[in-house]
Structure 1
Amino acid sequence: MRVVLQRVKKASVAIDNQTVGTIGQGLLLLVGFQADDGSEQIDYLVKKIANCRIFSDEDDKLNLNVQQVNGKILSVSQFTLYADTKKGNRPSFTRAQDPKIASKNYDEFNQKLRALGIEVQTGKFGADMQVSLVNDGPVTIIFDTDNK
């Protein structure tokens, strides 16, 4: 499982020019699953993301997590995180999880974040989406359960 996390001042996702998710301060998550990902990987990343201290405290040190700043999460599914670019110029996506399984894992991931009391907005799994954001920092972190 891979997640690209970006600390944002605001972010939104639209489908066919209709906004389906929007947040102010918080985290934009681009979320991808590979073939053998499941609850173990989801639990690991939910804990890491919820506790990731990347927001500034009163001393301007990165000591606060998303909950401590009353931030929100915008979670967007992105199978292209598992692009294989080794051969040729056209990426292969054979490492990405089967969409039926990945959709369930994506829902589980978002529900587990919500269960922690974090407001989570989402895009629509499998849709062609337009993501807009104002990156804060910028702060961008890549989580990969293959590299714990």
Structure 2
Amino acid sequence: MTFEVTFPTVWANFDANRHMRHTAYNDYAAELRVRFFKEHGYSLNEFAKLNIGPILFKEETSFFKEIHVGENIKVNMELEAISEGLERWKFKHQVFNEKGVLSAEIKVYGAWMDLIKRKLTAPPKEFVEVFNSIEKTSHFEIIPMKNAK
């Protein structure tokens, strides 16, 4: 099942044209990822205990339909790609307006970072179960590791 959250929009997320400002879409996608991991036992405090954190290499947002002040929105998340050791990942988010029309699509490409060494790392083995629970996109793929032998 696709992980999805309904959010009420807030005035601070709108611009002078009275539609949701572009960076707010990405903020809602980030909030969804935090909630997903928390629901699976990995709150921000748990990440801190593990000395790991997510980092983004790239964020792509495509806009299709306006979202207006006061609308509730739905944001979902699917896994587009993952490396074999779960070190790197790609998520796809879709943002729907109150009428259920696709308003934006956000793709994020990232990895896990060891917060002490400040280098990329693999998450604990328990993350396999967490990533297995995420709905996969129709074009899901394994990310090849450049230095793999």
TM-score band w.r.t. shorter chain: under 0.3
More strand by share: 2
- Larger RCO, structure (CA 8 Å, separation 6 or more): 1
Larger-gyration structure (1/2) = 2
TM-score, scaled relative to structure 1? 0.28
User: Normalising to structure 2: TM-score of the pair?
Assistant: 0.28
